[in-house]
């Protein structure tokens, strides 16, 4: 199985790895077939326009190199973006930014995008409960 240089870079030097205490949104997703588990934490802030942005984002992933790389990439893509833009990040975006993944590892990009979207949904659900 051949990985791109970008996948290897994000696997060996992952960005935004770790946990956010008191995160505004958290999501855990997994794939029972391969055993990958990803947890995404987000902290929400505001930009100068008053839009809600992902001020900080971190991940914890237990899985293969592709799972770690896609988790790292999705956090890179989402950090500093508005909530609306973060929700538009797709598995194709993650895979493209990593210069592709082997066909048997494409599911990792899907998991990463789902984890991001679920963390934003968790944040929005918490806001609804407060109101």
Catalytic residue among 6, 31, 34, 110: 34
Contacts of 118 (CB under 8 A, 6+ apart): 27, 29, 40
Catalytic residue among 23, 89, 108, 113: 108
Is 64 a residue of the active site? no
Residues marked as catalytic? 34, 108
């Amino acid at each position: 199985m051949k990985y791109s240089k970008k996948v290897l870079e994000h696997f060996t030097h992952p960005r935004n790895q770790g946990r956010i205490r008191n995160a505004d949104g958290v999501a855990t997703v997994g794939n029972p077939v391969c055993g990958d588990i990803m947890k995404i934490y987000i902290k929400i802030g505001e930009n100068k326009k008053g839009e809600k942005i992902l001020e900080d984002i971190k991940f914890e992933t237990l899985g293969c190199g592709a799972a770690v790389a896609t988790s790292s990439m999705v956090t890179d893509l989402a950090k500093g973006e508005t909530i609306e833009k973060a929700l538009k990040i797709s598995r194709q975006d993650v895979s493209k930014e990593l210069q592709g993944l082997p066909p048997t590892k494409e599911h990792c990009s899907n998991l990463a995008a789902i984890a991001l979207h679920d963390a934003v949904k968790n944040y929005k659900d918490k806001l609804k409960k407060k109101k």
